[in-house]
Amino acid sequence: MNTPIAKRQQIIEEIDTLPEDALSELVSFIEYLRHKSVEQKSAAPQPNFLLSIAGLGTSGETTVSERDEAILANEIDPLHGWSLHRKQQG
């Protein structure tokens, strides 16, 4: 008979046979199982990853493709080429 009560009784009997120094590890494992079960119950379904990243690069500008050469020309130094930080004129 594998009823929940029989399983609990079997667990109790197994715990009684454990050495004293194993009990602290058992307590930690039980806390882990309790935390894991609570975490699984409270976890909401995750949205689709691809849908969650859609639109991250949206700038709101609609004419970027028409101005791409002008944008790049502003970013490239005629003497030093492209760099992350443009040197100050001075």
Enumerate the domain spans of the chain. 4-42
* Of the candidates 41, 11, 4, the residue with the CA atom closest to the CA atom of residue 29: 11
10-21: pLDDT as tens digits? 999 999 999 998
pLDDT digit string (tens) for the chain, length 90 residues: 678 888 999 999 999 999 998 999 999 999 999 888 877 766 656 677 777 777 777 777 777 777 788 877 777 777 777 766 655 554
Q: What is the DSSP letter of 79?
A: T
Distances (CA, A) of 8 to 19, 35, 42, 70, 77: 19, 20, 25, 74, 75
